[in-house]
Structure 1
């Protein structure tokens, strides 16, 4: 079994991509999705967030939601807004956000290799979120949300990407947020074989984003194999939709923290306790950490630059992450936050929103303190995954996001 394989993608018909592509299902609330899909009958949000077409207040996990997704997908097929390739292909996917460009391969990745750990994960998943994705896949009989993967150094794969993007794209659209998404179809058998062999030669792939989607695909595959005593292992359910980028081009942004109160401490008491683990320096300007071990802390009207004391940095690949050090030396012992997943006193702010968002949430009184983090690196992520460990919650924020609707994987 190959690590990845070509597949017959369900994708926008010629000239229709701009009407279809949409943000991933998990980055918009239902109300935000309603606004984004307004006046766009073919937006993929009607499939990825189908509650927008049901009465307000509908439970997003209701059976009616998944049924509506299937109904909307069939409408798009009937209207020839989306079509399916008649041959298994690879697809080259380029995203441009400002000056940042990343180009990768859309492929069907092996569930077996995911189960065996060659496609490596770095996060825990939540059963309710997995259940949601399983129901979505089963209702559509397709995977419509790609798993975002990274591959280590591979000149052979890089060469195919570079050669392909010089031709005329099969889809090219700029989304509402100004990010450009472009797709090329690889139909040439020799090129397909080169890519398959190139991926087979890799030691591993790494999940950047999409842990719940990959886990759900594994569950669907296991259930279908169990129900089919004559399964061969080559059925399409044994693979999951993925977009695979070279690790060195990926852009990870900071994932910042805001806390609702100071755990009963005064400002001076907080600063004194923080100083046991970090050197604390007041700053006249907002602090965006520039190096490992540095944190920006904002209290109403005042920024501070925190630098972790070197003797407190452990060797463990998880414990030495900046987000882990903050939890170990400030969030838990000083602010009393023991469970980042469940404690409602803490919230997380993606770096795409910038430092003004941190100031806004503190100055408004909604939050008492904010922490601006140094972005986790791809080397950090791969080191944690290679060690078989998991990162703390909300450790990575990847930008730009993949577009839903650019390619989907039908489970024949």
Structure 2
């Protein structure tokens, strides 16, 4: 968070503009953005989203933010006078809109690059006024959009908009800072991977006693292979070199949109009451492993002796994320792991 870091970022951004590596659009336009990772493909729209809609809950959140991360993003935006990191948005599937975006991808992209992680980023520039107007109409007709990833970015953008409006109360019409950079994808195309947990100890319990405690709530079944949960209330447990399947009676899964999440069930029935881990953000006895690393990473973390047990979770479905946001609630920490990731700096939104 040193001032020199933000100054260097601003200098780099100015240089990229000066050298023509980043090109300013002469007229308003949209970008169609396709992500391809292995067999998975998703196609969305690069746009700027309204801060007013964000404040009015038409762009809905499902996570808390941390002040230090918000502050970092605010300082970065102010230093560059631009937003270079897009917010990942989701919208309920719209066949007409999806068809319009897909039709654009039948031509050669303006940008087509593969990152070091193997993700291919393809971007098409669309400047046809009629096409842009129709797409804008489709989005205006949507009652809500959902923040999938980028809660700190959107919160920081709202803070920048508020401070700039306060500094210039006579500005009148909407300014560029009243919008934030985003890429919106249909929810049905987005991919959430599992976000697994590993714990350093069993809270003083021996493995057999720990399994006995789990049997009070779950059906515990030994497994001959790694367990990838497939239904709500089901978990994989790797303990003492062996996998187990933990199954909760569906009748015991609550109706509340947060309490019924698998990440909540694990915390409420295992981590907190049995292992004494109640604060997932701060407790050093727990760590999190993104599903991109595979179940083999859970085995490695335990077999290497650093962790006592690992829990494999089912990926949180997009419908559950949207249900939490619609209820005005927030999900527990480390509930979702989206893949593939958007590229920062591929498209930017300058605040002038």
TM-score by length of 2: 0.99
Q: Secondary structure at the match of 1:83?
A: coil
Check if 1:223 corresponds to 2:173: no
Distance in 2, matches of 1:310 and 1:377, equals: 17
CA drift of 1:171 comes to 0.6
- In the TM superposition, 1:122-271 aligns within 5 A as 122-271=62-211
- The equivalent of 1:36 in structure 2 is none
Q: Pairwise mapping of residues 202-351 of structure 1 onto structure 2 (< 5 A)?
A: 202-351=142-291
Give the deviation of 1:381 after TM superposition: 0.4
Q: Deviations over 1:74-133 (max 9, x none)?
A: 222222222111111110000111110000000000000001101000000001110000
Q: Is the 8 A contact 2:207 2:240 kept in 1?
A: no
Once residues 116 and 200 of structure 2 are traced to their aligned partners in structure 1, the CA distance between those partners, rounded to angstroms, is 32
Point out where structure 2 has 5 or more consecutive residues left out of the alignment: none
Q: Is the 8 A contact 1:277 1:312 kept in 2?
A: no
Please, which of 308, 312, 315 is the counterpart of residue 368 of structure 1? 308
Match among 72, 75, 95 for residue 12 of structure 2: 72
Stretches of structure 1 that go unaligned for 5 or more consecutive residues are 1-60
Q: Distance in 2 between matches of 1:213 and 1:186?
A: 25
Offset of 1:73 from its aligned partner? 1.1
Conserved 8 A contact 2:32-2:44: yes
- 1:382 matched residue in structure 2: 322
In terms of mean alpha carbon deviation, does 133-142 or 285-294 score higher? Answer: 285-294
Alpha-carbon distance in structure 2 between the residues aligned to 1:255 and 1:231: 45
Quote the Cα distance in structure 2 between the aligned partners of 1:196 and 1:290. Answer: 38
User: Alignment partner of 1:290: what SS?
Assistant: coil
CA contact (8 A) 1:254 1:374 kept: yes
Would you say how many aligned residue pairs link Structure 1 and Structure 2?
Answer: 352
Whether contact under 8 Å (2:236, 2:243) holds in the other structure is yes
- Cα distance in 2 for partners of 1:233, 1:395 equals 39
- 1:40-51 → structure 2 map (5 Å cutoff): none
Deviation at 1:155, TM superposition (A): 2.7
Paired position in structure 2 for 1:84: 24
Tell me by how many angstroms 1:233 deviates: 4.3
- What is the alpha-carbon root mean square deviation over aligned residues? 0.9
Tell me how far apart the structure 2 counterparts of residues 310 and 247 of structure 1 sit (CA, whole Å): 26
Give the secondary-structure state (helix, strand or coil) at the position aligned to 2:43: strand
Q: Give 1:112's aligned residue.
A: 52
Q: Note the C-alpha offset of 1:312.
A: 2.0
Residues 29 and 132 in structure 2, CA contact (< 8 A), matched pair in contact too: yes
Q: Which residue of 2 aligns with 1:400?
A: 340
Query: 1:40 maps to which residue?
Result: none
